[in-house]
Amino acid sequence: MTIQTKQTISSEPKAQHFDLKAPEWYLNRELTWLEFNKRVLWEAEDERTPLLERVKFIAIVSSNLDEFFMKRIGGLKQQVGAGISELSVDGRSPQQQITECYAVVRELEAKKQVILTQLIDQLQKQRIRFLPFIELSKDQQQAMREHYVQNIFPLVTPQAIDPAHPFPFISNLSLNLLAGVCCAETDDMTLVRIKVPVGSKVPRFIQVGNDQLYIGLADLIANNLDLLFPGMKIAFCDLFRVTRNAITELDEEQADDLLQMIESELRERKFAPVIRLEVASTMGKLQSGMLAAELGLNEEQDVFVVDKRMAMNDLFQIAGIARPDLLDPPHHPCDHPKLAGAPNIFHAIREHGSILLQHPYESFVTTVERFVKEASRDPHVQAIKMTLYRTSAGTKIVQYLIDAALNGKQVAVVVELKARFDESANIKWAHRMESAGIHVTYGVVGLKTHSKVVYVVRQDYNGLRRYAHIGTGNYHAGTARLYTDLGMLTCDKKIGEELTELFNYLTTGLVPKRNYQNLLIAPNKLKPKLLEKIEREISKHTAKLPGLIQFKMNALEDMDITKALYRAAQAGVKIDLIIRDTCRLRPGIAGLSENVRVISIVGRFLEHSRIFYFQNGGEEEYFIGSADCMKRNLESRVEVVTPVQKPELQAALRQLLTVQLSNQRSVWEMQADGRYIQLQPKDKQLGAQETLIKLANHRFAEAKTSSSHKKIKKKSEANRNTD
């Protein structure tokens, strides 16, 4: 069906032309996510981006594609294997989606190689060089050989592939060499697999001498195979890599012990089916075909030939080189003006009512970590309850929770063991907390606990008071500096009461009537409430006061929400969507969605915050929380979205939305066919993220100046009184 764009708006009645169940009005989830990675890859191409940051974006796209194969392609292949032919909402079968995704991935990979070649040339001009081993000087080759013998050679284990040695297990995402080794006396050849031991102690790129000159670890091993096979001839030696399916979920309802089930699932994932084989372009068809056959892959579809550099996610090592002149200016989050200088964070929250946090513009350490730290030490705090989806060794929150338990406080933590790729880490955190006496539970059977909440019960001067942090991002110190997220510190009585209900649900799984009037909680309340509010916006829309809906989130995938937004747009409601990656809705279709604008922002930080705004006939509503508009978030996860009602906080959210919606730098606008066009600023406009950095610093400086003036005034008044 031909899609009308907004340039050809029909004068006939709008709504009657569109069957909102028809697949042509919905974009494919996987393909729109790959489209997002095209936008990320552009950052590596954009000459305005500092050189090492461009290298970092190559690594990000590579890492994203690895995860895409493990999660999304793995799931689609399972559907194909199970004979599932059910079409997606956009009308594609699982096999169709795989085929179309493969075409886009090959296009992305080819472009990535071209860009990396250009970047390597530019790095060389900045005295950061990559050379193959054979181009090193004789002295450098000897030095590298000695380094290899002393530091790497003992870690290398060759594995023959012959009738006496079955095909070896190839671990997920490992780099491997396939070598053909011949005896000097005969032409009989043995195939040998050599795992390249890249790890925390052995970097992928080995520095040569004291200069910023690097050779690849695999190249170093390949050019010193005589140490592994003395007196033998090497017929060939080529790189390959496999990707395994990460979808190995077991039946949670049948598990006696969820912890043991997840541990078992992790073991199964290690040996999960291979779904992709990457081979160097130098590898012969005979060898790549043999590998594909041994791994159970379709040679024509599942083998990806890599022209130059494989596993480019390892370029994070190069992006981390200490060259400030080739990196973004360092960003130092400022303190929050309402908390800086406040001797007690609970007194500050009580004084201000609610406080909005904007990360990474404002410090995670001096806000969220401080909140938990002071709660762990404050003698008036009696209980701390928290949801933990992902965290990191760099976050001190777990230690503060342990301190709180040791200080005799009641501490309960809901750990989400099924946080994809963080299961092992979360099991360790859970064991560590349990051993300190913390009450650890694993949420509700059948639902992931994705909400971001810390809840503190404190004995204040006038009785028990509940304090809370509700956020959009994980309690993870690393991502708090790299992701844009929002949070709210509050002691609102109604919110506190509803969080009590939430934690009673999370720690028991029991679902008596829980009367949430303020918080929007998934899976029961959030989706119906969003749909209800969209319909309300339609009912309140008038020519005099047009309706307005603005959502900022990572993804719009849920069909019901998308349909509701289409209906609102047809009714004349203006809709602004700031969607980072997946978006099913097609904007700009005459009679259907010409009132919808969809933009995506890609910058130095990963956009991760979620905001839901409804104009509501002038009685504006703002919400922030952990949920995207994805079916899984709305129906299969425990999510918390909180209203933001304080006018000052609403004004801050309005400023954030306005900055992002009016910006022209690093902003991409979606077209009706799913493509994105990069907006072009007319002048040297700062990007939205750089603007928000300046605004945060300005708020802090202004508060500091105001505080200084108050101190001077107070001192002056004291002096007058003394006189």
* Residues that are catalytic: 450
Phi, psi of 692 (to 5 degrees): -70, -30
470/625 Cα distance (integer angstroms): 7
- Residue 656 makes CB contacts below 8 A (sequence gap 6+) with 358, 611, 692
The answer to whether 613 and 492 are in contact (CB under 8 A) is no
Q: How far is CA 383 from CA 82, 428, 439, 460, in A?
A: 48, 23, 11, 13
Estimate the crossing angle of helix 688-722 against helix 647-662, to 10 degrees: 140
Q: Where does 208-271 show beta strands of DSSP type E?
A: 213-216, 233-244
The residue whose two tokens read 């294997």 is 81
The answer to whether 640 and 495 are in contact (CB under 8 A) is no
482/580 Cα distance (integer angstroms): 15
578/288 Cα distance (integer angstroms): 43
Residue 609, SS3 per DSSP = coil
Neighbours of 542 (CB within 10 A): 10
Written in H, E and C, the secondary structure of 259-301 is HHHHHHHHHHHHCCCEEEEEEECCCCHHHHHHHHHHHCCCHHH
568/223 Cα distance (integer angstroms): 64
139/104 Cα distance (integer angstroms): 44
3-state class percentages of the chain: helix first, strand second, coil last, to nearest 5: 45, 20, 35
Estimate the crossing angle of helix 526-540 against helix 559-570, to 10 degrees: 10
Query: Which residue type does 586 have?
Result: R
Q: Which of 428, 485, 510, 493 is nearest to 605 (CA)?
A: 485
Q: Which of 174, 176, 180, 175 is nearest to 192 (CA)?
A: 180
478/391 Cα distance (integer angstroms): 9
16/26 Cα distance (integer angstroms): 18
Contacts 24+ apart (CB under 8 A), 85-91: 87/23, 88/23, 88/28, 88/29, 89/23, 89/26, 89/559, 89/584, 90/23, 90/24, 90/26, 90/27, 90/28, 90/29, 90/584, 91/23, 91/24
141/474 Cα distance (integer angstroms): 46
294/576 Cα distance (integer angstroms): 50
Q: Within 13 Å and on the Cβ side, how many CA atoms surround 341?
A: 10
